[in-house]
């Protein structure tokens, strides 16, 4: 049996049917042959945030995070995330452009990787409250491998930048099972 590592992914969408893109991304990740579906998945609640560092008028984001166990090497997991983004219609144009889906590889076990095109932990993880807040639901006590601080502490200290923004939970973790977060009027 191949050893399984725990990886944490950040999910975001601010273009099109954000909820549908988020559902599809989770389903495609769960359905991959080298992601162990026999183990429980942890998916954080669904959050709504203003776009950070993007053009004026960019749509609000839906954000979440998920924990998976996988036998994939880190490069192959990154490739899977990029492939899923492409299959759902993401076209990379400019940095910080609108996106139908964004899947970021945040943490991969306790690995630290610094190669062209792949930096683990995600290089801006500790700065992004919109990522840290959902991640803290499923990995609150996990320590950032470079900073040695737990995710919950980092989430509580992350700055909102020059323009403050709210990270608002709009649905519990059951959103990923097909329960619409719009039922409660959380558009």
Residue 185 falls inside a structural domain: no
What is the band of 133 on the pLDDT scale with cuts at 50, 70, 90? very high
Does residue 1 have a pLDDT over 50?
A: no
Residue 155: both structure tokens together: 């989430």
Residue 22 structural domain: 5-173
Q: Of 11, 83, 82, nearest to 47 (Cα)?
A: 11
For residue 145, the domain's CATH number is 3.30.70.560
C-alpha span between 115 and 145 (Å, rounded): 16
Q: Among the listed ranges 47-61, 81-95, 133-147, which one has the minimum average pLDDT value?
A: 47-61
Share of the chain above pLDDT 70, in %: 84
Prediction pTM value: 0.89
What is the band of 82 on the pLDDT scale with cuts at 50, 70, 90? very high
**Count of domains observed in the chain:** 1
C-alpha span between 95 and 69 (Å, rounded): 29
What tens digit of pLDDT does each residue of 111-123 get?
999 999 899 999 9
Burial 61-91 (b: 16+ CB within 10 A, else e): bbbbbbbbbbebebeebbebbeebbeebebe
C-alpha span between 67 and 121 (Å, rounded): 14
Residue 41 falls inside a structural domain: yes
Question: What's the chain's Rg over C-alpha atoms?
Answer: 16
What tens digit of pLDDT does each residue of 38-77 get?
666 689 999 998 887 766 667 888 999 999 999 999 999 9
């Amino acid at each position: 049996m191949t050893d399984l590592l725990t990886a944490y992914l950040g999910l975001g969408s601010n273009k099109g049917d954000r909820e549908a893109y988020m559902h599809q991304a989770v389903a495609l990740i769960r359905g991959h042959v080298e992601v162990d579906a026999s183990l429980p998945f942890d998916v954080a609640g669904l959050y709504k945030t203003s776009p950070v560092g993007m053009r004026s008028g960019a749509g609000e984001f839906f954000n979440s995070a998920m924990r998976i166990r996988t036998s994939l090497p880190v490069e192959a997991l990154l490739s899977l995330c990029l492939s899923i983004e492409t299959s759902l219609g993401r076209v990379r144009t400019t940095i910080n452009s609108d996106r139908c889906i964004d899947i970021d590889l945040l943490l991969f076990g306790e690995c630290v990787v610094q190669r062209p095109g792949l930096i683990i932990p995600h290089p801006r993880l500790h700065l992004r409250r919109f990522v840290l807040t959902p991640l803290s639901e499923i990995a609150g006590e996990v320590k950032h491998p470079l900073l040695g601080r737990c995710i919950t502490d980092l989430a509580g200290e992350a700055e909102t930048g020059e323009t403050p923004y709210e990270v608002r939970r709009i649905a519990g973790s059951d959103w990923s099972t097909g329960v619409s977060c719009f039922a409660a009027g959380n558009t």
